[in-house]
Chains A and B, each alone.
Chain A
């Protein structure tokens, strides 16, 4: 089956006409967040009521991906009026249909003009909340697979890589390695068999960007993978996705099947000699599999244990073949880079960090949800403007980025721009994009202990510094939080952190001490309170019983 650009345009035109034929379009968020607040029932009820009233010909009810503001779910948007409703329940369905074409329902209204929506710059998530993730036609109507067509028909692999290099794109998985360099390395590797892997093993607790993108716009990632495969010379790709995200798995599988049926995946795509196939591989709940060599081992059906690099996967990857591994968000950036040119992306963001970044805003903040902002956005604006500040009038304490590999950023650094370098300068990392806000009810020693417990149990056990070091650090923190810590423990903590950081084999161990180091740097007084006064100001640690015993 060969598909021409006219066919794509034809599909887009028919789909656009179909949708525009409806006087009203009601988009119901069916990403995991809203689904867990029963948005599926709302959608069913809307469809049923539309049918009952005989409105099928002029009112479309459509399931869409994440609208972003998970805190206010279930969310729906009504087009073309551009009205958002929040906290919708099945009992609101009649009222919503009554109000179509009239004035919006004040009770449910969610202001679309609030900073949460207006301050975002959506590139990766531009289709989220707009298209039905289970319909390829809807994606094509938003210029989907056009970039793949352009690449296959009018660009050489070298030209594609040039655009990625020009964009200044850096890997969105956490480390921020320049994507163009990675692509170049894989394309230069001499081997007939190469692979492209999409890393969707979003193990970092508190992060849900990849889940949302896969659930809301899976075709975008598939198109990015196909373009990458063409550029580096691969014919086979894998999406390695967490089994804990059943909905994302289902949508990716559906999308792959649709793409194969249409002919944008498979053999001789767009009548060229380019073949590309994608398979899904399920993760099985090991955080360390986010590390690329461990991920490769897991796809090969083995224990997810990292190995020393070099050789890097670019030369020696899956089954010993050159392999390109990119994160979901990185790949989702590729189609717009091709459509608009690398220079376009390079015009967004800061000098060294280009483009936008998707963050999962969670914790003690009013507007929890998914946001996408240009690199270099001021952290304070993210927390207080877009995030809407701290609920219940409590006091901001810290923002945690990068999950178990990152650090806690205190109030005094809130006015810094969010980019790879600035975050590293204050002892944190960009990470994959989890951003957890903490208020004065959180104890920073307890938080450090939480992350260390995570790293301890997620350590794969291969290298001693990580396996033993994380356990020792955890026990020291345990002592401090239960009120039996001694002043000398702090020096020992620092020494251990330094050792684990510098001698571990992979990224997990090398970054595991970060939450401890950063809390010791900014919140040392809290450690001292636990040790000297045996008190926990936040009330999170159970010191009381120990004090009575003393």
Chain B
């Protein structure tokens, strides 16, 4: 069945074919663990996003075929849940928590200052693909509000200045290379 074959080239443009195969093997493993049943859809999408960083149309088509779920339903699920993203993330990601405690603690001014510094709002990526800015509903680190995640590392008690300092480290490093 054609639709069940793994997508050969991905729009993310990952060159190494072998690592790509390995990642698909991990996704296939998730589906197999759930008996390739339609109810494995969300778990499978988690697996795709974990290994590829985002969900693109090829991946959605592949999962739809493998789990025998209509593509429309796969797309509905992928867009209903906020955790899933259909856009490729930038080289670095900065997630600003917008939970209540962080909001009270000044998360919006942090977002404003990032917007001023690098010119992107929540959900956007810089044009050079270097930095993505995201917001989170609540990271559960309310004791350390406001909290921000830089490339997966949670940092608490942030200020606009501290966040910008971290972001500049990324941009400076990249121009210095």
Docked-complex contact B46 and A203, CB < 8 angstroms: no
Q: Which of B80-114 contact A (CB under 8 A)?
A: 80-84, 98-101, 103-105
Q: Give Cα distance in the complex from A123 to B43, angstroms.
A: 34
> Which B residues are CB-close (under 8 A) to A71?
143-144
**Per a CB cutoff under 8 Å, which of A37, A204, A286, A442 touches B80?**
A286
Kindly state the separation between the CA atoms of A280 and B99 in the bound complex, as whole angstroms. 25
Q: How many residues of B contact A (CB 8 A)?
A: 39
Q: In the complex, are the beta carbons of A360 and B104 less than 8 A apart? A: no
B46 touches A363 (CB 8 A): no
Interface string of A393-419 (1 = CB under 8 A from B): 000000010010000000000000000
> 8 Å CB contacts to A: which residues of B25-58?
38-43, 45-46
Give the distance to chain A from B93, nearest Cβ to Cβ, in Å. Answer: 14
1/0 per position for B65-83, CB-CB distance to A under 8 A? Answer: 0000100010011001111
Segment of A95-103, A183-191, A299-307, A378-386 engaged in the interface with chain B: A299-307
In the complex, per-residue mask of A27-48: 1 if CB is within 8 Å of any chain B CB, else 0: 0000011011100000000000
B140 and A285 form a contact (CB under 8 A): no
Asked if A286 and B144 make an inter-chain contact with CB atoms under 8 angstroms apart, the answer reads: no
Minimum CB–CB distance from B53 to chain A (whole Å) comes to 14
Beyond the given A32-B140, A286-B80, please list 9 additional residue pairs across the A-B interface where CB-CB is below 8 A.
A36-B153, A70-B141, A70-B142, A281-B42, A281-B43, A282-B46, A284-B84, A360-B142, A362-B145
B→A interface (CB under 8 Å): 38-43, 45-46, 69, 73, 76-77, 80-84, 98-101, 103-105, 136-145, 147, 153-156
Cβ–Cβ < 8 Å partners of A285 in chain B: 81-84, 137
* B172 CB, nearest partner CB in chain A, Å: 23
Q: What class of interface size applies to chain A in its complex with B? A: 35 or more
Contact A454 B137 (CB under 8 A): yes
Interface digits, A434-468 against B, CB 8 Å rule (1 contact, 0 not)?
A: 10101000100001001100100000100000000
A284 to B48, CA, bound (A): 13
Q: Work out how many contacts link A and B, with CB atoms closer than 8 A.
A: 140
Contact yes or no, A304 B80, CB < 8 A: yes
A-B contact pairs, 18 of them (CB 8 A): A32-B139, A37-B144, A203-B137, A205-B98, A205-B137, A205-B138, A207-B138, A282-B46, A284-B83, A285-B84, A286-B80, A286-B81, A301-B38, A304-B81, A361-B143, A363-B104, A434-B100, A450-B100
Contact B80 A303 (CB under 8 A): yes
Set B45, B73, B103, B144: member contacting A70, Cβ < 8 A: B144
Contact present for B142 and A206 (CB under 8 Å): yes
Contact pattern, A 278-293, Cβ under 8 Å of B = 1, otherwise 0 = 0001111111000000
Taking CB atoms, residues of chain B closer than 8 Å to A300 are: 39
Contact A363 B137 (CB under 8 A): no
Contacts of A303 in B (CB 8 A): 76-77, 80
Chain A residues, CB < 8 A from B156: 33, 36-37, 73
CB contact between A202 and one of B98, B140, B153 (< 8 Å): that residue: B140
Using CB atoms, name the residue of chain B closest to A282: B46
Q: Which residues of A contact B145 (CB under 8 A)?
A: 362-363, 368
Q: Cβ of A155: which chain B residues have Cβ within 8 Å of it?
A: none
Interface string of A203-215 (1 = CB under 8 A from B): 1111110010000
User: Which residues of A are interface residues toward B (Cβ below 8 A)?
Assistant: 32-33, 35-37, 70-71, 73, 202-208, 211, 243-245, 281-287, 298-304, 360-364, 368-370, 400, 403, 434, 436, 438, 442, 447, 450-451, 454, 460
Query: How many angstroms from the CA of A454 to the CA of B143 in the assembled complex?
Result: 20
CB atoms of A362 and B142 under 8 A apart: yes
B42 and A205 within 8 A (CB): no
Q: How far is the CB of A302 from chain B (nearest CB, A)?
A: 7
Bound CA–CA A203/B46 (angstroms): 18
Contact B154 A32 (CB under 8 A): yes
User: When the two chains form their complex, are residues B81 and A301 in contact, meaning their CB atoms are under 8 A apart?
Assistant: no
Among B73, B84, B100, B140, point to the contact of A400 (Cβ < 8 A): B100
- Closest A residue, CB atoms, query B155: A36
Taking a contact as CB atoms closer than 8 A, the residue among A282, A304, A362 that contacts B101 in the complex is: A362
Q: Which residues of A sit under 8 angstroms from B99, Cβ to Cβ? A: 205-206
Cα of A202 to Cα of B137 in the assembled complex, Å: 11
Residues in B whose Cβ lies below 8 Å from that of A245: 140
Given A205-B137, A284-B82, A303-B77, verify A298-B142 contact (CB < 8 Å): no
